[in-house]
Chain A
């Protein structure tokens, strides 16, 4: 514990820990990684579960602004539930989550395409009407 205390007050140590935890929490957005962790029994380790709970500090705005993949926060919240952790052992579960994530990811591009199509149709109509 003395070493841990020394670590707390060490500047470079803090920065490193910050980076590490930042990277790790964002890795949680990857459902394949979660499946990997589940299959190796990490979710059964109480210390690990406590660590996940500790990582919830990334939800605060002053920390969240450093996240590049904000989906990780949602996964983190889900990981707090035992049932979810158990489910993640199945590869199908991970695959399903992956597919849904990718589909959601494409939401805005789809919307934009639809808008463009609608606009194009409208222009065509205007042209036809004009002529």
Chain B
């Protein structure tokens, strides 16, 4: 009996392990493999004790209900059969559990791979986004540069024009008594177009600018008919005040066509009688 109970105890241990997982799988309390195994074991224990008692009693007494022995034996055998089946079930469950374990490991591995890939993709996306952004900035600055592009020839021409007449750089021989200045002087202002407008009688002053002289001679007629914004109380060097309505409101856009035609004339007239020319 001791050997039998020892063998049963040995079977109990792996069974308990399998039964433990069985209890995790089977929801209801009484149905877990573990509990069924345990209850089977208890029954076996009880039955085997009864049998032993009956055998012990039957040794003392001859009178013995034979059916009871048989019943107990049958129950014992039946219980044992159940126990064996439960053990097999527990073994299968153990195998399944093992497989589950392996698969879970596999899943974890794949999961970590996916996370790794995700990190790398994120990094790549960030790098690409930075690159795209910088490329866009570059394109913007290229566009800006192209918009402001001026032909070098024009710049050189302009530089020549403003330096040749000492407008931006003092003449090398300049001394403090020299009347030349970096801005149009009184004399120049009066002999320019603005000044001439107020002195229609003094045409012919700018001998070297025939266009201006003619214009000066013709100006009053032209102005009187077309420019209502002229007023008559002007002294020298004053801008003809525009009609106040025009400039109290937001000034409208202006048309500046034919600038090319006017180019030569205007640059000459702005520096009208500059001395160095």
Contact = CB atoms under 8 A, between A and B. Distances in A.
Interface of A: 1, 3-4, 6-20, 22-24, 26-27, 29-33, 36, 42, 45-48, 50-51, 53-54, 57, 61-63, 65-72, 101-102, 104-109, 112
A50 B270 contact: no
Contacts of A61: 148, 150
A112 B192 contact: no
B254 interface: yes
Nearest to A36: B237
A105 B170 contact: yes
B248 A50 contact: yes
Main secondary structure on A side of the interface with B: helix
Given A51-B251, A61-B150, A67-B270, A109 B172 contact: yes
A25 to B, nearest CB: 9
Given A14-B258, A69-B184, A71-B182, A106 B270 contact: no
B68 to A, nearest CB: 123
Given A45-B241, A48-B241, A69-B162, 18 more contacts: A13-B222, A16-B193, A18-B266, A20-B239, A20-B240, A22-B266, A22-B270, A26-B184, A27-B183, A29-B182, A30-B183, A30-B189, A66-B267, A68-B161, A68-B165, A70-B162, A70-B168, A71-B183
B184 A66 contact: no
Contacts of B169: 105, 107-109
A109 B170 contact: yes
Main secondary structure on B side of the interface with A: loop
B262 A15 contact: yes
Nearest to A10: B226
A51 B183 contact: no
B112 interface: no
Interface of B: 148, 150, 154, 158, 161-162, 165, 167-172, 174, 181-186, 189, 192-194, 197, 215, 222, 226-229, 237-248, 250-251, 254-259, 261-263, 265-267, 269-272, 274
11 contacts: A4-B246, A23-B192, A30-B184, A32-B186, A33-B237, A42-B238, A61-B150, A63-B256, A65-B154, A66-B267, A70-B162
A18 B183 contact: no
A19 B193 contact: yes
A50 B182 contact: no
A52 B267 CA distance: 21
B269 A65 contact: no
